[in-house]
Structure 1
């Protein structure tokens, strides 16, 4: 999809990329992949095993930037405009007695997240109208005049997705497949969906790291891919320009790159701009340096951005040596997340009952967990739910309900420990079984934003009503 080049040839220091990796390691940032593109060529790429190049990865809210491009395409087709009002495009979703402000909300207000709600409206809107988020969004009270204050608001992007679908007559995934992904050579874009089957729009897109990097390169080129213009240049420019002040996600936090302003579903950065998803999914574009960086992770985005500016950026324009390039390439090939250490104990089975008292529990209270040895590993049965294949000293893959899980484990004395990676997401479950006590826990490393039930997350496609606090 993207051509490759050695860092030295492209004019970027491989030592600066190594310093970036050092910084992430020193700060215990769990990255799953990184791809650095300079002057249109991939100069560094790596995946921390068990993550790999061919795997799509859940992008969370980085999805919003793709929805923004869909809006721009609909506008270019003459089907939508920035001044079009929600109540006019989606009249069947307007609540009775909608407020004057609700009736004035336009595409511009949704894109810039300046509808005027005091906080993210998603949970309250869905509680208000469980079967119609658009209606719930319009029904909620406002705290500021439209267009005057940015509030990060997932519902705005959901409404935009429904508006694009209404005016184009196509589902959002199908529309972007035809107009963006297939022309770019992206042959598989998976979308999580709400219970009705509609794509979230504000999250839920799964893409490979290279597809994310290619998206950033498309933006850097002003919407041109190869010899074909896929997105109008003026839309790329307006979408990635600052439209409103923004505040850090948390009061008194050091989210410097989330305080530089907000565009149309893009964040402005201290250098360039970026699309951002929870737990560290990033597409960073720095036009001044002809630089694109794609990252998937389970960590904090600001840590990654700080490392880019302080370690990577000073090396742009300063090519190094062939030897330095070879050292970096070898390091990138050997990236891996730590695996569970311990013995195989190949004759040992165990049966336990699950304790789900912790908030991070992935499975219901009392679930029976049975571990039986197999050749080179174990079969873990979560009785009446699904089975997982677990390797010893190597990753083992299975797809119990459609979505792949990659797992490895070991016996540590009388305790069985296994890491179960829902490998197309940032998340994993650590299973710990106390053979003496006959008890087990299965805890998420980080709680998925769409809820803790692991059964949902190993089913493909994920279909649920969001549970976003």
Structure 2
């Protein structure tokens, strides 16, 4: 690293606490990204989206910029909402890798005691793959009652479409995946992932709320730090490999992050151009050949393979398309194949832009 530049941008590039096995840090220029463009990204995020909570940009495996809107901080876990689904999907992939289940296993196989008395043919045909791709055959998303989600509620919901043919966003289906992981492994996804994912990635103290049935909520309820989100994206960007060890198979990564089903005609809260690019295994496809984990309120784990980049974002906003737009508008054009000359002035501007960040009062719809 350029030692003359490093002190100027240190506050923008380093977290103020010691993570377990943190990602390496670098300057934007060393990794081929213009710091001036990152300043524009930060300023646009602050101005156009109410309100960002944090961002972290990783290029070539190095954190090149990060920031938190006060009072948020680097060491504070954040609710992930449906980014939890991508972690839950990873637990399913690992269970498949361990020989505990198969993509085409029927869902009813795992829950004979919770099945309706006379299950429909469509329900009988529903598989683990259908849960992962949100093509369970439901016309509407099953709702959980005030007592929390249950597998019995999910299985009781009408299934008018042939499974695998109709995309319908389905958090209860994600919860059912969590219940399946527990059925076949004897552990909740939280417990199952600790030695297989969280500990190898250096993710400390993950919290995942559970249902009255004792299952991790699966589709939501996970709390992690911004860097933890970035680590999941980096693991998938590296095709499942971490520190020279293949944590999850390259085949799974390819399936989970590719377009398994179309969704351009599906309704979803926060709908925009990036909600019509297809759906994988609890990952959304994006424009620019990217993919993402995606959670209500603006939580994102964005992976851009062509740029070898990951962007993690936490927020409290209804303008989720706006968050993605500032990434596409300001970060993508700033990426270069080779390193750039050091720019101390731009580094200082970036530091100051990040130091000024304060969360705005949340306004409905923005």
Question: Which residue does the alignment assign to 2:94?
Answer: 73
Out of 319, 341, 350, the residue aligned to residue 328 of structure 1 is 350
Once the two structures are TM-superposed, the CA of residue 338 in structure 1 deviates from its matched residue by 5.0
Out of 27, 41, 50, the residue aligned to residue 6 of structure 1 is 27
Aligned partners of 1:192 and 1:132: how far apart in 2? Answer: 12
Question: Which residue does the alignment assign to 2:302?
Answer: 284
Q: Structure 2 stretches of 5 or more lacking a match?
A: 1-21
Once the two structures are TM-superposed, the CA of residue 195 in structure 1 deviates from its matched residue by 3.1
Once the two structures are TM-superposed, the CA of residue 86 in structure 1 deviates from its matched residue by 1.0
After superposition, the C-alpha distances for 1:234-280 in whole angstroms (9 at most, x for unaligned) are 11111001011113775898611110000000000002100000010
Question: Which residue does the alignment assign to 1:114?
Answer: 135
Q: Secondary structure at the match of 2:212?
A: coil
Aligned partners of 2:270 and 2:23: how far apart in 1? Answer: 36
Out of 230, 239, 250, the residue aligned to residue 213 of structure 1 is 230
Q: TM-score, normalised by structure 1?
A: 0.69
Change (3 A) 1:122 1:314: same
Equivalent pair of 2:303/2:309 in contact (CA under 8 Å): yes
Question: Which residue does the alignment assign to 1:303?
Answer: 322
1:315 aligns with 2:337: no
Higher deviation after alignment, 273-282 or 131-140: 131-140
Once the two structures are TM-superposed, the CA of residue 285 in structure 1 deviates from its matched residue by 0.1
Superposed CA RMSD in Å reads 2.1
Change (3 A) 1:65 1:248: farther
1:20 aligns with 2:55: no
1:170 aligns with 2:187: yes
Once the two structures are TM-superposed, the CA of residue 227 in structure 1 deviates from its matched residue by 2.1
Equivalent pair of 1:282/1:301 in contact (CA under 8 Å): no
Higher deviation after alignment, 17-26 or 289-298: 17-26
Equivalent pair of 1:101/1:145 in contact (CA under 8 Å): yes
1:139 aligns with 2:156: yes
When you count strand as a share of all residues, which structure comes out higher? 1
Q: Structure 1 stretches of 5 or more lacking a match?
A: 340-427, 429-444, 448-469
Equivalent pair of 1:29/1:303 in contact (CA under 8 Å): no
Question: Which residue does the alignment assign to 2:112?
Answer: 91
Aligned partners of 1:219 and 1:281: how far apart in 2? Answer: 17
Aligned partners of 1:80 and 1:96: how far apart in 2? Answer: 25
Equivalent pair of 1:16/1:315 in contact (CA under 8 Å): yes
1:188 aligns with 2:205: yes
Once the two structures are TM-superposed, the CA of residue 100 in structure 1 deviates from its matched residue by 1.2
Change (3 A) 1:178 1:252: closer
Q: Secondary structure at the match of 1:122?
A: coil
Give the aligned length: 339
Question: Which residue does the alignment assign to 1:30?
Answer: 51
Report runs of 4+ in structure 1 exceeding 4 Å deviation. Answer: 248-254
Aligned partners of 2:268 and 2:150: how far apart in 1? Answer: 28
Aligned partners of 1:330 and 1:295: how far apart in 2? Answer: 20
Q: Which has the larger radius of gyration?
A: 1
Question: Which residue does the alignment assign to 1:158?
Answer: 175
Aligned partners of 2:188 and 2:157: how far apart in 1? Answer: 26
Q: Secondary structure at the match of 1:260?
A: coil
When you count helix as a share of all residues, which structure comes out higher? 2
Q: Secondary structure at the match of 2:65?
A: strand
Aligned partners of 1:101 and 1:295: how far apart in 2? Answer: 38
Q: TM-score, normalised by structure 2?
A: 0.88
Once the two structures are TM-superposed, the CA of residue 322 in structure 1 deviates from its matched residue by 2.8
Once the two structures are TM-superposed, the CA of residue 35 in structure 1 deviates from its matched residue by 0.2
Once the two structures are TM-superposed, the CA of residue 142 in structure 1 deviates from its matched residue by 2.1
Aligned partners of 2:173 and 2:213: how far apart in 1? Answer: 18
Asked which structure has the greater RCO (Cα within 8 Å, sep 6+), the reply is 2
Q: Secondary structure at the match of 2:29?
A: helix
Equivalent pair of 1:34/1:46 in contact (CA under 8 Å): yes
Q: Secondary structure at the match of 2:153?
A: helix
